[in-house]
Amino acid sequence: MEPLDSHWFALKVFYNQVVPLKQKLEQADCRTYLPMTLVEECRQGRIRKVEKPLISGLLFVHTTEPFIVDFKAKNDDKFMIYGEPGRADDRRKAMAIPDDEMRSFIILTSQYGQDGSQAELLGIDMTDISQYRKGERVRITGGIYKGAEGVIKKIRSDRKFVVVVQGVAVVGVSRIPQAYIEKI
């Protein structure tokens, strides 16, 4: 059972160490999430769909702040913890991601539609994301993205459902039926 003061934290992992670090954290009974995407690759003249990280070097972990700070001290050269914006790097507090933001992010980035639709990365490491917070606040009530909350925003002449993880990433998806969209 996870402690009551557990939160999601975002880690920037260095030197292609995402998988080993993920395994270490899971061995320490931490829940992790690695957002993935399907991409087409051409190898030896054949096109195949391959699953790859949506954001290179990004790993989420659900644990307590003291644990992740201590874990970082023991694995310092492997990753950094995303910190709260507005403070000097050496005095930043680890930034806890609200559960509802993370839940919507996981719903959006862990599903692939039958029509091939999937979450699209709109930006990373964004501290000024006010443009993505403006729009009609909605909840998805059906389909593969059911339960996600975000905003409907017009981006490059396309209506997208957008989910923001403050200071980490912005993702969006198109082609959500109007019947599944409920205003909050």
For 12-41, how does the pLDDT look when each residue is reduced to its tens digit (9 = 90+)?
A: 998 889 999 999 999 999 999 999 888 888
Q: 103 and 72 in one domain?
A: no
Q: How does DSSP assign 57-103, residue by residue?
A: TEEEEEE-HHHHHHHHHHTTTTEEE-B-TTS-GGGPPB-EEPHHHHH
Q: 174 and 135 in one domain?
A: yes
Query: What CATH number did the domain enclosing 52 receive?
Result: 3.30.70.940
Q: 133 and 110 in one domain?
A: yes
What's the pLDDT at 129?
57
Q: 169 and 111 in one domain?
A: yes
- Final residue of a domain: which of 81, 97, 113? 97
How much of the chain, in percent, has pLDDT values that exceed 90? 43
pTM for this entry: 0.86
Q: 176 and 151 in one domain?
A: yes
Q: 119 and 87 in one domain?
A: no
- Final residue of a domain: which of 43, 64, 97? 97
Higher pLDDT, 114 or 158: 158
Identity at 135, one-letter amino acid code: G
What's the pLDDT at 75?
83
Torsion over CA of 6, 122, 90 and 13, rounded to 10 degrees?
70
* Average predicted confidence (pLDDT) for the chain: 85
What's the pLDDT at 145?
92
pLDDT greater than 60 at residue 87: no
Q: 87 and 110 in one domain?
A: no
Task: For residue 84, give both structure tokens.
Answer: 């709260």
Q: 83 and 11 in one domain?
A: yes
What's the pLDDT at 103?
96
Q: 106 and 71 in one domain?
A: no
Q: 178 and 110 in one domain?
A: yes
Q: 38 and 18 in one domain?
A: yes
State the total domains in the chain: 2
Identity at 146, one-letter amino acid code: K
Query: What CATH number did the domain enclosing 118 receive?
Result: 2.30.30
Radius of gyration of the chain (CA): 17
- Final residue of a domain: which of 54, 72, 97? 97
What's the pLDDT at 27?
96
> Confidence class of residue 1 from pLDDT cuts 50, 70 and 90?
low
Mean pLDDT of 66-84: 87
What residues make up the domain containing 131?
98-184
Q: 92 and 1 in one domain?
A: yes
> Confidence class of residue 50 from pLDDT cuts 50, 70 and 90?
confident
Identity at 82, one-letter amino acid code: Y
